[in-house]
Each structure stands twice: as C-alpha cells, then as structure tokens.
Amino acid sequence: MLAFTVMSTDELLAQVLRLPRTERARLAQEVLTSLEDVDGEEVVVAWASELERRSREVADGTVETIDWESARAEVSEELEERRARRTSP
C-alpha cells in the first residue's frame, strides 16, 4: 500500500528550490505551461490588448524605456530583496 505525505506550498517550494537550476527551470516551465491552457483564446486576446497598449505608451512617450542591463539589474536586486525577506526570521 502506498502512503502519501501532504506538503504545504511552502514546504514544496523549499524542496523545489533545492533542485539544480536546470531542474527548477524545467519545473517552472511545466507549471507555467499548465496555466496557459486555462482560458485559451481569452488570454491571447488579453495579452494582445496589453501589448498594443504598452506599444502605444512607448510610441507616445508616455513611458520611458530603460536598457536591458539596467532592467536586469533592477530585477536581480528585487529578487535578492525578496529572498532575503523570505529567509530572515
């Protein structure tokens, strides 16, 4: 007879974060792919609308773009702050 242990989301996340980078990436891709099928056409239409809106904002000068290195640095900093908050007592 098989026995299953029920893990909380936090416990599962802790286990996943211990995996090698390539395995975490594969797992993330599978989870994201599973979310894409939920609303199908509705999601495609919503993303197309969002992309059009953002393109207009850039073309109109409503928003200011930044270079990739700056964007990457900001994202990395934010991730580090989140990790620090998650691991601090």
Do residues 34 and 5 share a domain?
A: yes
Shared domain check, 63 and 82: yes
Are 82 and 65 contained in the same domain?
yes
What is the number of structural domains in the chain?
Answer: 2
Angle between helices 21-36 and 9-17 (to 10 degrees): 140
Band of residue 34 on the pLDDT scale cut at 50, 70, 90? confident
34 and 70 assigned to the same domain: no
- Tens digits of residue pLDDT in 9-26: 989 999 999 999 999 999
Residues 89 and 56 in one domain: yes
Predicted confidence (pLDDT) per residue in 35-60, tens digit:
766 667 787 888 899 999 999 999 99
Taken in order 61, 63, 68, 69, the sign of the CA dihedral is: positive
pLDDT of 22 reads: 92
C-alpha to C-alpha distance for 28 and 81, rounded to whole angstroms: 21
User: Residue 70 has what pLDDT?
Assistant: 94
Residue 17 domain boundaries:
1-38
pLDDT at 37: 62
